[in-house]
Structure 1
Amino acid sequence: MRFLSYAYCVVSNFVFLGLVYFSLNFLDQYPQRATVAILMLVYAAMHAFSALRSFYFFQRIERLEGETRRLASAAGEGPNSTASRKQIVLGVTELRHAGEVKAYIDLFFLALVILLCIAKIVTG
């Protein structure tokens, strides 16, 4: 299921990249093409900022995982509660890692969109 979500992320970002590419190539007049490119740049920059901000969030989650592991080992409760906590921490770790990979995929395609938009603005 995790690889399917990665594939969906890649396909949806590729479709967005294709949409930007074809919309910029089908516009004949430079002012229209530059306007669309600037609007796409603004959108891509906001989305990239959001993806970069999520890394800060993932870093905080990673700190919480370490703290939970430390507290669970120090608490010394029964083996059932320790096993359930380990399962929860393992699930959170997997979700955090999947979120980081998806954020990297998003950033890669957004960088391509930004480069494409800048190229279309610079070339007349």
Structure 2
Amino acid sequence: MTFLSYAYRALSNFVFLGLVYFSLNYLEKYEQRAIVAILVFIYAAMHAFSALRSFSFFQRIERLEGETRRLVAASGEGPNSAASRKQIVSDVTALRHAGEIKAYIDLFFLALVILLCIAKIVTN
């Protein structure tokens, strides 16, 4: 299921890249093409900034995972509670890792969109 979510994220970003490419190539006038490229550039830059900001969030989650593992190891509670906490921490770790991979996929395609927009603005 995780790989399916990665494939969906890559496919949806590829479709977005294709839409931007074809919409910028089919505009005849430079002014119209530049305006659309600037608007898409602003959108992609804001989305990329949001994806970059999520990495600090993921880093904080990773620190919390380490702290939780340390506390679980230090606490002398029964085996059932320790096992359930280990399961929760491993689930959070898997979700964090999947979120990081999806953020990398987003950043890759957004960088391509930004480069495409800059190329269409610069060229006449």
2:38 maps to which residue?
38
Question: C-alpha offsets along residues 70-108 of structure 1, whole Å, 9 cap, x if unaligned?
Answer: 001111111111000000000000000000000000000
Could you tell me which amino acid in structure 2 is paired with residue 79 of structure 1?
Answer: P
1:64 maps to which residue?
64
Inter-partner Cα distance in structure 1 for 2:84 and 2:69: 12
Q: Number of residue pairs matched? A: 124
Inter-partner Cα distance in structure 2 for 1:64 and 1:53: 18
SS of structure 2 residue aligned to 1:100: helix
2:51 maps to which residue?
51
1:74 maps to which residue?
74
Question: C-alpha offsets along residues 17-36 of structure 1, whole Å, 9 cap, x if unaligned?
Answer: 00000000000000000000
TM-score by length of 2: 0.99
Question: C-alpha offsets along residues 47-81 of structure 1, whole Å, 9 cap, x if unaligned?
Answer: 00000010000000000000000001111111111
Inter-partner Cα distance in structure 2 for 1:91 and 1:39: 39
Inter-partner Cα distance in structure 2 for 1:57 and 1:114: 24
- Structure 1 runs not aligned, ≥5 long: none
SS of structure 2 residue aligned to 1:76: coil
Inter-partner Cα distance in structure 2 for 1:31 and 1:46: 23
Is 1:89 equivalent to 2:89 in the alignment? yes
TM-score by length of 1: 0.99
Q: % of aligned pairs identical? A: 82
- Structure 2 runs not aligned, ≥5 long: none
Could you tell me which amino acid in structure 1 is paired with residue 63 of structure 2?
Answer: R
1:120 maps to which residue?
120
More moved, 73-82 vs 97-106: 73-82
Inter-partner Cα distance in structure 2 for 1:74 and 1:97: 25
2:2 maps to which residue?
2
Cα RMSD (Å): 0.3
